[in-house]
Amino acid sequence: MPSSLHCIDCAQQYPIQRVIYACEACGGLLDVRHDIGARRSSLTADTFDSRLGALDAPYNSGVWRFKELVYPDIDDNSIVSRMEGNTNLYELPRVAAFAGVDTLFLKHEGENPTGSFKDRGMTTGVTQARILGMERVACASTGNTSASMASYAARAGMQGIIFLQNQQIALGKLAQGIAFGATCLQINADFDRNMELVRLVSEKLGIYLLNSINPFRLEGQKSIMFEALQQLRWRTPDWIVVPGGNLGNSSAFGKGLLEMLEAGLIDRLPRLAIIQAEGANPLYRHFSSGFGQFEPVKAETIASAIKIGNPVNLQKAIRALEWTSGVVEEVSDQQIMDAKAVIDGVGIGCEPASACSVAGARKLVERGIIKRGDTVLGVLTGHILKDPEATIDYHADQLPALSPESANKMRQVDDDFDEIVSVLSERAP
């Protein structure tokens, strides 16, 4: 069976070449589906392990190493890649101790070419744009999607168009969008409104939409799970912990995990824990109320990447929670920034939203949901340099309503040999 698009609600099918982001019959979200059953014999751990360290395209990419599961049957020459993925999986005892578990791994997706996991979704999204012959691509973004799309669009010779809110965009993200030559629109609207606007404008002008409502984005992002499980020698951890904003990653993880199970690469599913900021917690509220009536929220958090109140992938994330007996937790800005200081302090570092993984794991341990002996794999979604202002303000105790638990304060010292020696002779606090 060739790959096709499927509505997750009414199972309506569409050819893979259709430019469509929602079911025409019922409005439901769409999945890209490949015939995994028919390929099962080639989808072995040996196949994927034999490609590790490949020097040539496409298997030198941590996304396309899993091509049979990501987008089989396409010509390798159509792939737009920056050798994304291949990110490190760190085992971090000091962060594990902070979270309250014996074994904690962090997969650092900030080590992707533009500094976030979005590159995994952009290599597949922009490849599909090229296959479809698109010349313009667009997204609304809190910053990382736009940085990544701008880069991949430039590589493919397409015009990138990005819809940004006019406040709280982290500098490391904004700088990339501008530098990579995208058309940057700063709009007096929050992310959720920009998401509505970009959908309307893209439809009107025939621009290819590259937000995670585009199912080809999620096909790339699910490779985070493929690669992490490969790094764990295909042994399933008890928990996968991930921040949730527009819920693309959570949705992609559910799909990828199920496909690995279907392919026989793993023999059981981990449980998924999706972590939201308290000020941007619509999924948490929905989950806590037993999935009653969904209410969007007006989002506010220092973790600007996940300042999202009306996530487009809601239904797919709920499906992922059902498949994996998953849970949703919320964490405060204080908990996010304190967890970030711990991750930064072991020499790894991440942007604020990413620290939800560790802050959330800690809270779930405190609540007795994650057990001390459970193996936990958290995902760090973005690089520490994405949002330098938040980091510096935290350590300088300049964040309103927050008191840093472990600030590394800068010392002002005169051009004076004795003073420097005296300062460095003080006992460390």
Radius of gyration of the chain from its Cα atoms, rounded to whole angstroms:
21
Structure tokens at 313: 């992938």
Cβ count near 209 (within 10 Å): 22
In the complex with ligand F0G, which residue's Cβ is closer, 151 or 246?
246
In the complex with ligand F0G, which residue's Cβ is closer, 243 or 404?
243
The residues of the shown chain that bind ligand F0G, judged by CB under 6 A, are 116, 141-145, 212, 243-250, 305-306, 351, 353-354, 381-382
CB 241, CB 273: distance < 8 Å: yes
CB 251, CB 30: distance < 8 Å: no
β-strands 30-33, 4-7: how paired?
antiparallel
Q: How far apart are CA 241 and CA 92, in angstroms?
A: 15
In the complex with ligand F0G, which residue's Cβ is closer, 28 or 110?
110
Tell me the one-letter amino acid at 42: S
Backbone region of residue 290 per phi and psi (left: phi > 0; alpha: psi in -120 to 50; beta: other values): left
In the complex with ligand F0G, which residue's Cβ is closer, 74 or 252?
252
In whole angstroms, the minimum distance from the beta carbon of 256 to ligand F0G comes to 13
In whole angstroms, the minimum distance from the beta carbon of 314 to ligand F0G comes to 10
**DSSP state string for 18-79:** ---SB-TTT--BEEEE--HHHHGGG--HHHHHHTTT--STTTTSTTGGGHHHHSTTS-GGG-
In the complex with ligand F0G, which residue's Cβ is closer, 74 or 207?
207
Residues in the chain: 429
Cβ-based neighbours of 78, under 8 Å, separated by 6 or more: 127, 130, 131
In the complex with ligand F0G, which residue's Cβ is closer, 244 or 404?
244
* Coil, helix or strand at residue 172: helix
DSSP state of 181: T
In the complex with ligand F0G, which residue's Cβ is closer, 59 or 192?
192
In the complex with ligand F0G, which residue's Cβ is closer, 80 or 336?
336
Q: Burial letters for 396-427: b for 16+ Cβ neighbours within 10 Å, e otherwise? A: eeebeebebeeeeeeeeeeeeeeeeeeeeeee
In the complex with ligand F0G, which residue's Cβ is closer, 170 or 342?
170
Which is nearest to 43 in space by CA: 270, 316, 256?
256
